[in-house]
Amino acid sequence: MTTITTATTSKKLSSVSVVFPAYNEELNIENTVLKAIEVFSKYFEEVEVIPVNDGSSDKTGEIIDRLQKEHKEVHPIHHPQNKGYGGAVKSGLFGGKNDYIFFSDSDGQFDLEEVSLLLPLIKDNDIAIGFRAHRADPWHRKLNAFCWGTLVKLLFGIKAKDIDCAFKLFKREVIDSVTLESNGAMVSTELLAQAGLMKFKLAQVGVSHYPRQAGEQTGANPWVILKAFIELFKLYGKLKHSTPVPKKAGAQNQ
């Protein structure tokens, strides 16, 4: 595992699928999608942006359908009913068709320009992820994240500094090799735990994190947290008794 703090790159990479799970993000989704098109087009020859409307009750779905008509890069996915954060992430990851797959949240708390920090890392690694150098969240969310991260590292030995930081870039091979079951907040843990068992190489770098400007966060919902812990121990039991899949062997995704 490699950790760095600055990086630059000049040569464009082949193609990328950019995934944004979105639930009731009508105030954020348009700016996020348009910024993604602008930024990723500077670093990749081909770009598709996949906003995943996870059963939103606001105008999120209408907005991304309009963006699809206006921008050839936009390829939306719609869930008729809410599947949860993990369900939306899975739909986007497995729906992407390009050589690299990036995912982030659609709420504007990350600076997409900082994908430039991940690009040098992905050259010699399979996964490049950010960690929030200074997390711009309320104290209770920071406390929840610390307790969760500590437990996950103890159970699975994941070396990531910030497991749930939604600023991740993968080579296609990683996504094609994992089988994800979580529909909740544990999807990143499940992905990184399986990737670690398959010996995929991971590198990480500090990224900026900003306060949410509009909309409401759902991650601090007690029911969401409870479901995440239930899924966590189910995954631990599953992986503890499983045989690691050899790298490049592939798997069927759910």
Q: Which amino acid is at 221?
A: N
pLDDT over threshold 90, residue 48? yes
Per the CB < 8 A criterion, the answer to whether 73 and 145 are in contact is: no
* Cβ atoms within 10 Å, residue 8: 8
Pairwise pLDDT comparison (96 vs 10), residue with the higher score: 96
**CATH code of 215's domain:** 3.90.550.10
Report, as an integer, the average pLDDT of 107-121: 96
Q: Over the stretch 193-243, which tens digit does the pLDDT of each residue have? A: 999 999 999 999 999 998 876 656 555 567 777 777 788 888 888 777 665
> How far apart, in whole angstroms, are the C-alpha atoms of residue 134 and residue 211?
11
Report, as an integer, the average pLDDT of 150-168: 87
In a domain, 101, yes or no: yes
Number of domains making up the chain: 1
pLDDT of residue 211: 83
Most confident among 31-35, 181-185, 237-241 (mean pLDDT): 31-35
Q: Residue 18: give the domain boundaries.
A: 12-240
> How far apart, in whole angstroms, are the C-alpha atoms of residue 230 and residue 211?
29
In a domain, 245, yes or no: no
pLDDT tier at 3, thresholds 50, 70, 90:
very low
pLDDT tier at 49, thresholds 50, 70, 90:
very high
Report, as an integer, the average pLDDT of 41-70: 99
In a domain, 169, yes or no: yes
In a domain, 250, yes or no: no
Backbone phi, then psi, for 228, in 5-degree steps? -65, -40
pLDDT of residue 135: 66
Percent of the chain with pLDDT over 70: 83
pLDDT of residue 155: 84
> For the chain, what is the HEC assignment?
CEEECCCCCCCCEEEEEEEEEECCCCCCHHHHHHHHHHHHCCCEEEEEEEEEEECCCCCHHHHHHHHHHHCCCECCEEECCCCCHHHHHHHHHHHCCCCEEEEECCCCCCCHHHHHHHHHHHHCCCEEEEEECCCCCCHHHHHHHHHHHHHHHHHHCCCCCCCCCCEEEEEHHHHHHCCCCCCCCCHHHHHHHHHHHCCCCEEEEEECCCCCCCCCCCCCCHHHHHHHHHHHHHHHHHHHCCCCCCCCCCCCCC
Nearest-CA neighbor of 43 among 116, 152, 96, 104?
A: 116
pLDDT tier at 5, thresholds 50, 70, 90:
very low
pLDDT of residue 149: 75
Kindly report which listed range (10-14, 58-62, 79-83, 220-224) carries the lowest average pLDDT score.
220-224
pLDDT of residue 11: 87
Average pLDDT over the chain, rounded to whole? 87
In a domain, 5, yes or no: no
In a domain, 248, yes or no: no
> How far apart, in whole angstroms, are the C-alpha atoms of residue 250 and residue 147?
32
Kindly report which listed range (82-86, 139-143, 182-186, 233-237) carries the lowest average pLDDT score.
139-143
pLDDT of residue 92: 99
Q: Which amino acid is at 26?
A: E
In a domain, 108, yes or no: yes
pLDDT over threshold 60, residue 2? no
In a domain, 253, yes or no: no
> How far apart, in whole angstroms, are the C-alpha atoms of residue 179 and residue 239?
12
